[in-house]
Amino acid sequence: MKLKKSTLRVILVTAPAKEAESLARTLLEERLIACANLIPKVTSLYWWEGKIERGAETLIVMKTPRALTRKLFARLKKLHSYSVPEFLALAPVESNPEYEAWAVKSVSRRQSQ
What CATH number should be reported for the domain holding residue 68?
Answer: 3.30.70.120
Which domain does 32 fall in, by range?
Answer: 4-106
pLDDT of 113 reads 47
* Count of CB atoms situated within 10 Å of the CB of 9: 21
Q: CB 106: neighbour CB atoms within 10 A?
A: 16
38-64: pLDDT as tens digits: 999 999 999 999 999 999 999 999 999
Q: Is residue 80 part of a domain?
A: yes
DSSP notation for 59-97: EEEEEEEGGGHHHHHHHHHHH-SSSS---EEE--SEE-H
Residue 3: pLDDT band (50, 70, 90) is: confident
Asked if residue 82 belongs to a domain, the reply is yes
Q: Is residue 112 part of a domain?
A: no
User: Domain total for the chain?
Assistant: 1
Q: Give the global pTM.
A: 0.91
Q: Is residue 113 part of a domain?
A: no
| Residue in 53, 57, 71, 58 with CA at minimum distance from that of residue 9 | 71
